Structures are given as structure tokens and as C-alpha cells.
Structure 1
């Protein structure tokens, strides 16, 4: 794999599993100094060990980023561990529950907003403070095709992911003058530990049948797109929402 992220300091939130974990692996292979964030040491440590075993550089950031103080601590530690640099932020962390409208509970809304929406705002604020004003940086927010095409029982999730796209566009408009690019990826449902509870063989087969490329996406597919948006290959790309879904969102086959 190429070294297009060589020497860049990257923080990936929610990197103990799924898309975040694969993004951390790929960024490590591309030469980044990877700060792997998640809630628990047992989630973070294996990812850090794997990156290091492959010859990469990685650090554990065990931190709850569901508060302004938590995200501040995570970014500051990444800045310090990276040798007074901070280049890439991937807002991947999420806590998700699907509920019908009558079932939506205040505690569910609060937690989903804290992890999936508010943390994106606070992380932008903190990242801007430590990114070099001349060198700039790249921020990639993990949204979802649910921001573009929603299903039943997803009012809170779809609302939050739609909001993430709004944050992405507004931040890109504001931060372009500082050479900070802000983009989002919108994955379709990919098999991960977190999506397992909402998947079954029949549902997966239906998705495959409706997808022009004839398969489900993978965490590798999504991570490659994130790495592209974080790299200089996307140096003139900002305010974009890259849909990574095999074509299912915008086609009807």
C-alpha cells in the first residue's frame, strides 16, 4: 500500500471495531501516526498492537468522546503524542438504536446526540485549535445513506446523520480559508459488530439484489474512501458527501 499519509497524525474516534478499526489499520499502513480512540482499553489495545506489528505507529486514546471535555482530551492527547502535530480527524464514533416513533425514549435521543452529533461539533472546535494554520488538515465525518434515503424506525438516526452532512458543508465553508478540508462519507449498511443486530439473511439478500454492484459493502470499502478523503489525492475536495453504497441509493433495479 502507498504511503500517502506518511507522517500525518490522525485521530479516529470509535476505532475499536468496524469501520473505525479498519480505517485505523489502513491509515497505519499508509504511514500515518494513528491515534486509536474508543471507550475501553480492551477494544483499543488490539488495534494498536496490530498496527505496530505491521511496522506502523499507533497510540491508544481510551476516552469517552460523548462530551465536550472528552473530545477535548482525546484531541489534545493526539496532538501531544503525535509530536506537536495534528493533521487528520475522523469522526466515526456512534451509538445507535432504531425505534419506532412511539418508542423513542429521551435517554436514547440524548445518548445518540451526544455521541453522533454533538461530538462532531466539539471535535471540529478542538481540531481547528491544534491544526497548523498554514499546513491545514482534513476532517472526515462518517454519515450514512440514511441521511439521503430513510427507512421506518430511524427518525433519530436519520436526523442525526442528516445533521452531520449539514455540519460538514458549513464547516467546509468556514474552514477552507485555513486550508482545512471537511468531507463526509455515507456508507450503506455494511456487516460489522454494530450492525449485526439489525441484519438477517433475508434482509441482506434483498439489499444485494437491489445493489447494482451485486454485493454488500465491506469495512474495507468504507475505510479506503475515508483514507482517500484524508489524503492529498483529495486536495481540492471539500464540502462533499461521498456515497459508498454500490449504487443502491440512487438507482432502482
Structure 2
């Protein structure tokens, strides 16, 4: 096992499946103690089981990340189990696509709650239960924050907010020794994404990506792990595109 993060305690939201799970497993493989947060208890248990079976350390923490008190509480539990947090990955998201004129209030409220409010609560949880020797935040952004895409108005609004928030918090929290960065994944066929993007949609994304293929969960996890690691100790306020080049290609 690579011990590069052996002194780290990291909370990962949306860690039951997809990129969140891949990130939790990679961080644990590199020696970190990982808090596995997801609203689905069965998915939490599955991720924790996989990490422990591989010799890693994890704590399952089922919670709705849009609930401020719940997220602060699970951070407190993680700190009590493994020590002060050194990082948080604000990965959880709830997504629905559709034309702007069809957006329902309850759908928009839920997307903003999980996608934006939860990022605020995650940062607050890290500050309340984090290491006094510095810590790191990694948010998850999207190419749509810069490019736009049909039928993604609410998702674009969420990820645009995260992009701006990342840069602002880097300035605000830098004097406190907290680094704040984001990773922008390209098209990755995670279980959640497959529920809203069909094969035709993925074929289009493949054609639009300069590398000519879709991304893999592990590739995004590697970018997140880098930003949490000592190798990124002088990196803050950055949005790292792990997207196969889609964000720089003219459509």
C-alpha cells in the first residue's frame, strides 16, 4: 500500500458510487483514513467493505449532505475515530437535465441544496473538525461551468457557483492554511451519469473529446488525490480539468 497520505483523514461525500467511491478507495489505498459519506446506507457499507478488504481504513457515515447539522455531525464522528480532518472532497450531486422552461421548483431546490449548499456545509465541517496545521478542500466542478450545454441550465448554475466559490474560498481561507481547489471531470459513465445520459449522448461526448474516449472514475480520483497530497502544497484556487481536453475544444 502506498503510504503517501498516511497522516490524512479525509471526508468524501457521495462516496457510495462512481467518482466518489473511486476517490475514497484510492485515498485509502494511499494510506488515508476515509470518511465515506452517502445518503444510501447500502452503498456506504459496500464502499467501506471494499476499502477494508483491501487493507484500508474507513468509517461509514450515512447522511444527507444538504443537511448542515448532519454533515457537521458526521465530520465530528470521523475526527473522533481517526483524528482531525485534513481534507474534504465535496463530490455529492443530485442531477436532473431538462429545458429551462420545464424546470420544477423542487428539482432546482434539491440540486442547489446538494450541489451548492452542501459544499458550504462541507467546508464548515472541515473548519470545525479539521487539523490546525492546514487542510485541503477539493470541490467537483464541470466543463459546463464554462462551456454551457443544452438542457443543463440548473446543473450549469450549480457548477458555475462551485467554480467561483472555489476561487473565493482559496483567498478567504489561504491565511488559515487551507487550500481550496476543484477538479473538473470530463465525460465519465458513472452509474449516476448513465441514468441521465444515453448511449447516443456518450457517443457525442466521445467525439467532442480530443483524446477520443470517455474518462474513467479512477482517472478523476487520481486528480483529486493529487490536490489533497503534499505534492500540491503550493496549489490553491485552481480548477484542474481532468476531461480529456473537452474544455479546450471548439464545439
TM range (shorter): over 0.9
In structure 2, the partner of 1:144 is 142
Residues in 2 aligned to 1:99 and 1:204: alpha-carbon distance in whole angstroms: 17
Please say if residues 121 and 167 of structure 1, whose CA atoms lie closer than 8 Å, have aligned partners that are also in contact.
Answer: no
Residues in 1 aligned to 2:58 and 2:140: alpha-carbon distance in whole angstroms: 21
Please say if residues 12 and 91 of structure 1, whose CA atoms lie closer than 8 Å, have aligned partners that are also in contact.
Answer: yes
1:205 Cα deviation (Å)?
2.3
Please say if residues 210 and 248 of structure 1, whose CA atoms lie closer than 8 Å, have aligned partners that are also in contact.
Answer: yes
1:171-210 alignment runs, 5 A limit: 171-210=169-208
In structure 2, the partner of 1:12 is 12
Question: SS of 1:15's equivalent?
Answer: coil
Is 1:36 the counterpart of 2:33 in the alignment? Answer: no
Residue deviations 1:222-243 (CA, integer Å, cap 9, x gap): 1000000010111110000011
1:206 Cα deviation (Å)?
2.5
1:44 Cα deviation (Å)?
0.6
Residue deviations 1:32-79 (CA, integer Å, cap 9, x gap): 001101112211111111111111111101111112112111211111
Question: SS of 2:246's equivalent?
Answer: coil
TM-score (norm 1): 0.95
In structure 2, the partner of 1:95 is 94
Is 1:120 the counterpart of 2:145 in the alignment? Answer: no
Question: SS of 1:117's equivalent?
Answer: helix
1:126 Cα deviation (Å)?
2.3
CA RMSD, 1 decimal: 1.3
Please say if residues 96 and 196 of structure 2, whose CA atoms lie closer than 8 Å, have aligned partners that are also in contact.
Answer: no
Unaligned runs of 5+ in 2: none
Question: SS of 2:34's equivalent?
Answer: strand
Residues in 2 aligned to 1:95 and 1:36: alpha-carbon distance in whole angstroms: 17
In structure 2, the partner of 1:245 is 243
Unaligned runs of 5+ in 1: none
Question: SS of 1:148's equivalent?
Answer: helix
Please say if residues 44 and 61 of structure 2, whose CA atoms lie closer than 8 Å, have aligned partners that are also in contact.
Answer: yes
Please say if residues 65 and 74 of structure 1, whose CA atoms lie closer than 8 Å, have aligned partners that are also in contact.
Answer: no
Residues in 2 aligned to 1:75 and 1:98: alpha-carbon distance in whole angstroms: 31
Please say if residues 23 and 227 of structure 1, whose CA atoms lie closer than 8 Å, have aligned partners that are also in contact.
Answer: yes
Residue deviations 1:128-177 (CA, integer Å, cap 9, x gap): 122223x1111100111111111111111101100011111111101111
Please say if residues 31 and 56 of structure 1, whose CA atoms lie closer than 8 Å, have aligned partners that are also in contact.
Answer: yes
Q: 1:197 to 1:132 in 2, by over 3 A?
A: closer
Aligned length: 251
Structure 1 residue runs of 4 or more that deviate by more than 4 Å after TM superposition: none
